[in-house]
Amino acid sequence: MRIKRLEIFGFKSFPKKINIVFPAGISAIVGPNGCGKSNLVDALRWILGEQNPRFLRVREMTDLIYAGENGHRPDFAEVKLVLESDQNEGPRDLAKLSEISVARRLYRDGESEFYLNNRPCRLKDIVYLFLDTGVHARGYGIIDQGRVSQFLELSPKERRRFLEELAGIARFKLKKEETEKQ
């Protein structure tokens, strides 16, 4: 899977709709302090299912909505991630599509919605989509400062989980755990 586009509206420091296109290859985002570079990473982490405001650098989830300066006060924040799919990846019903989009919307009353290819879905569907790809909210796809040393400090059990994800078997393990619970 490859990130093609990130569309943002009303999220953190982005009051108006922006569309960031990532061409094939390596992209770098540069800019002065406070211009919103880390906010873009927060947007990505949020769309991948992050549920803990602390990991998005806010006190409450609704603080993710643009705070409302210059007369702009959006009713909601929305982030949409458009991915190019390798066709054999992801859940079987989506495997034939060459483009997959995932969107998340949050209203000021705290209500939130998820969309997979523009259809309402559950957070769980999004988590499943990214399982074993390394691209989930706390996966190895996003490496923060200090993350490398964190890996060295993991307990053997936590390290095993991480390696299972790398090996691509986390999906099967989660399914097995869920089946055993039923």
13 binds, among Mg ion, ligand ATP, none (CB under 5 to 8 A by kind): ligand ATP
- CA-wise closest residue to 10 among 34, 43, 51, 54: 43
One-letter identity of residue 23 = P
Q: CA-CA distances (angstroms) from residue 44 to 115, 159, 163?
A: 15, 24, 23
The annotation status of 168 as a binding-site residue, yes or no, is no
Size of residue set near ligand ATP by CB under 6 A: 14
Does 112 bind ligand ATP (CB under 6 A)? Our answer is no
Does 38 bind Mg ion (CB under 5 A)? Our answer is yes
- CA-wise closest residue to 121 among 134, 112, 108, 130: 112
The annotation status of 32 as a binding-site residue, yes or no, is yes
One-letter identity of residue 36 = G
3-class secondary structure, 65: strand
Opening angle at CA 171, ends 166 and 176, nearest 5? 130
Considering only residues 30-89, where is the footprint of ligand ATP by CB under 6 A?
A: 31, 33-39, 63, 65-67
71 binds, among ligand ATP, Mg ion, none (CB under 5 to 8 A by kind): none
Binding site for Mg ion (CB under 5 A): 37-38
For the annotated binding site for ATP, the residues are 32-39
Binding site for ligand ATP (CB under 6 A): 12-13, 31, 33-39, 63, 65-67
